[in-house]
Amino acid sequence: MAGPADNVQNWKKQDEEQNKKTDQKPIKNSAETEFTTKYDNLFVDIQNILEGERFKEDNYVSSFGPPSWTPEEIDSAKIIFKQCLDIDLDNVIQSGRDFELKKSLLILLSSNVFPENSVDEVTKFVDNFVQSCEQYEMAKQDLREIQEKEKSIDDQKTAMKQLSSKFLPIRKQAEAVDHEIAELERQLTERKAKKTRLGKMLQVLADQATTSKQSLVRDEEDHVKFCELKKEQAEKVINDVKTSWDTLKNEAKETSGNVGQSTDIGQLRWTIQNFSKLVDNKMHYSDIFYAGGYKWRMSISTRGKYLSMYLHIADRLDSLETPPGPGPGSTKNLLWSISVINQNPKFTVKFESNVLVLDAHESDWIFPVTLIGLKDATKGFLVKDVCTIEAQVSF
């Protein structure tokens, strides 16, 4: 039986031999080598203590190394590798041959089949093969989902067009029935029954259209957000240019008034930012504009449920060579209008008259629209919390 001193010498010798064998193993990455060999020496020592002189280190250590492949296995790996090279990667993955390909590459690497200058590149490919295949599959899945979503949107649009094409004819029939009921009392019962039937058809179509619309809005929401940002930037540029132009026109009118020319028509478009944040019962004033030898301006105030709008004479242009103006509380023949601009011009709210009190301390005031209706985003008066009011005065 070997003594402790002999065992120490044996362990040192085994360590040196084990290092030589490790150098001769097939190429592995550092993490894999450390993981598989870091406990080898410990258990070689334990086995040596247990077996003593009967211990054969070469036989024990040889079991640690990679498996030796038979010529048939190597030839099979070559065939699989060549078959996979003849088809594209998508077919390799879809046919489930990705793991078969990886195994064949590992066999060929461990059998030193590849030229030395390509071993590193092949090893790197094998190490990243599984992750690359997973990423490839995820990318393919993302692409399929995008294509399916686009097809879904197109299908929904087609369905909505079909619903719209059906809606108008049925609605016209319902409207015709209403007229016939009023004109032909003797057909009242029959026509009302038909009206009810058509109304149900309209309701069914409306329900289908509402469902399709909601689905389409949800699907296009991300795309709309991008478009809205661009639209907001474009509108800001347009408003800035218009404001600059209006200012230039007003200055030009004031200059022309100073040389004895009277302005008969004046107008101002007032863009009010952050409209929903206006403080109640506080007056907000527009810029000055000119008409008929007077300085004009608008003002607004939110009061309870209504928006109050005012048109003022801000000041008399002393430099104009015109007859003295009317006194406080008097009137003059003129046409004025105040409009709350809607995105759809036909829904713009406009108030106009041909008489106005011409007094620096008095003005004509109105309640043109309720705040509930004005702040309702579906009504079209507020765009990005911006309200636009336009005034025009002509003598």
Which contiguous run of DSSP H or E holds residue 262?
A: none
Judge whether residue 362 has pLDDT over 90: no
Q: Quote the pLDDT of residue 267.
A: 92
**Model pLDDT for residues 190-217, shown as the tens digit of each residue:** 889 999 989 999 998 898 898 888 878 8
Q: Which residues contact 47 (CB under 8 A, 6 or more apart)?
A: 55, 60
Residue 71, pLDDT above cutoff 80:
yes
Specify the fold of 246-394: 2.60.210
Q: What is the mean pLDDT of residues 179-183?
A: 88
Average pLDDT, the chain: 75
Locate 290 and state its tokens: 């000119």
Please give the Cα distance from 45 to 7 (Å, whole number). 9
pLDDT at 7 over 80: no
Q: Tell me if residue 279 falls in helix, strand or coil.
A: coil
Between the alpha carbon of residue 363 and those of residues 268, 314, 356, 358, the distances in Å are 17, 10, 7, 7
Half-sphere exposure of residue 134: CA atoms within 13 angstroms, side-chain side:
4
Helix axes 71-85, 98-110, angle to 10 degrees: 130
Per-residue pLDDT at 304: 79
Q: What per-residue confidence (pLDDT) applies to 80?
A: 85
pLDDT band at 180 (very low <50, low <70, confident <90, very high): confident
Q: What is the pLDDT of residue 22?
A: 33
**Cβ-contact 258, 318 below 8 angstroms:** no
Dihedral through CA 282, CA 283, CA 284, CA 287, nearest 10?
Answer: -160
State which amino acid sits at residue 279.
V
Q: Which single residue is written with the structure tokens 């929904």?
A: 156
**Each residue of 9-32: pLDDT tens digit?**
443 344 344 334 433 444 444 455
Beta bridge partner(s), residue 357: 331
CB 264 within 8 A of CB 258: no
DSSP symbols for 345-356: GGG-EEEEEEEE
> Where residue 355 falls among pLDDT bands split at 50, 70, 90?
low
Side chain identity, residue 282:
K
Cβ atoms of 187 and 195 closer than 8 Å: no
Confidence of residue 75 (pLDDT cuts 50, 70, 90): confident
At 131-165, the pLDDT tens digits run 777 777 788 788 888 989 999 998 998 888 888 88
What is the DSSP code (8-state) at residue 128? T
Cα 23 to chain centroid, rounded:
56
Alpha carbon distance 75, 130 (integer Å): 23
Count how many residues are written for the chain: 395
What is the Cα–Cα distance from 150 to 172, expressed in whole angstroms? 34
The predicted-structure confidence for 274-330, as pLDDT tens digits, reads as follows 988 888 888 899 999 988 888 889 989 888 788 888 888 876 544 333 334 444 445
